[in-house]
Structure 1
Amino acid sequence: MKKLMLVSAYLAFLSFALFAAQPSWAEQSKRLGPWEVHYNAFNSTLLRPEMARQYNLERGETIATINIAVLAAELPGKPAQQVSIEGYAMNPLSMQQPLEFSEVIEGEAVYYLAQTSFSNLETLRFFITLKKGDKVQELRFSEELWRN
């Protein structure tokens, strides 16, 4: 039941941000050590204006929003994990943009949001470090972003 509540809260965030008909914007996940990490990056114009205001996010044709949620993979119900998170985005010219994550807690759900700029039809590579106590994992993924 708890896992269902966590997933529901996480998907609630995704639902306002994404169109279900666009599979390239769908959530992705990876198992990293003790964690199941859910992540996505998408054009911020997909955010409804009221949701962007609520989370203090900018909307713009060349602004990407990054969403990360960390769950305990080995615990029953996979409870949300609060972690220290930092990272950067790298464009095709290997220019790095640091990501400043903000933590969002809604009930039992915890997720992390950041934004970065991009050029039209640009593939950004993301390098994100997750830490909790002596556990450290690195999440790497890429996403092609375009103007809406």
Structure 2
Amino acid sequence: MGRLALLLLTACLSVSIMAAEAIKGERQETFGDMTVHYNTFNSTYLQPDIAKAAELVRSKNQGVINVSIIKGDKPVIAQVSGTVKDLTSKSVPLKFKQITETGAVYYIAQFPVDQQEVRTFEINVQTGDKINTINFNQELFPGE
């Protein structure tokens, strides 16, 4: 049952990534031969059983960030950390958890979304001794 739930979570996250790419273009950064893919979405997009299996809170006031690192066509294990800031520069640390499946590794974290606003994300991806940083802005909306 656990593997099925993770498979469904991966499918859901993949659909969310594809939807975001279709709307805003692909969100990725390339560092040498490594590509970091990232996406944010409201946790209400997750089905309740999928959110529970991934230990995510499903709420209109909770966002999710999904990060994956690819080298060639293979997933990369990394240390992922970061922060999200609101317009007043209040910073919230992102606590990423790793989800590993056959052929895929994802890092997910949640953050509060209390109102519609643009947030600034800083994501640090460490592989070995090297740390790469991604900074981006995202307009967020509370869910339904």
TM-score by length of 2: 0.83
Structure 1: segments with no counterpart, 5+ residues: 1-8
Distance 2:44 2:81 in 1: 24
Q: Contact between 2:21 and 2:27, CA under 8 Å: does it hold in 1?
A: no
Structure 2: segments with no counterpart, 5+ residues: 1-7
Of residues 88, 91, 99, the one that matches 1:96 is 91
Counterparts in 2 of 1:1-148, with a 5 A limit? 12-15=11-14, 17=16, 20=19, 23-24=22-23, 28-72=27-71, 75=72, 78-148=73-143
**Cα 1:19–1:38 shift into 2, 3 Å:** closer
Identity %: 32
Q: Size of the alignment, in residue pairs?
A: 137
Output one character per residue of 1:2-52: Cα deviation in whole Å (capped at 9) or x when no partner. xxxxxxx99624246579499447752111233101100111111111110
RMSD of the alignment, in Å?
2.7
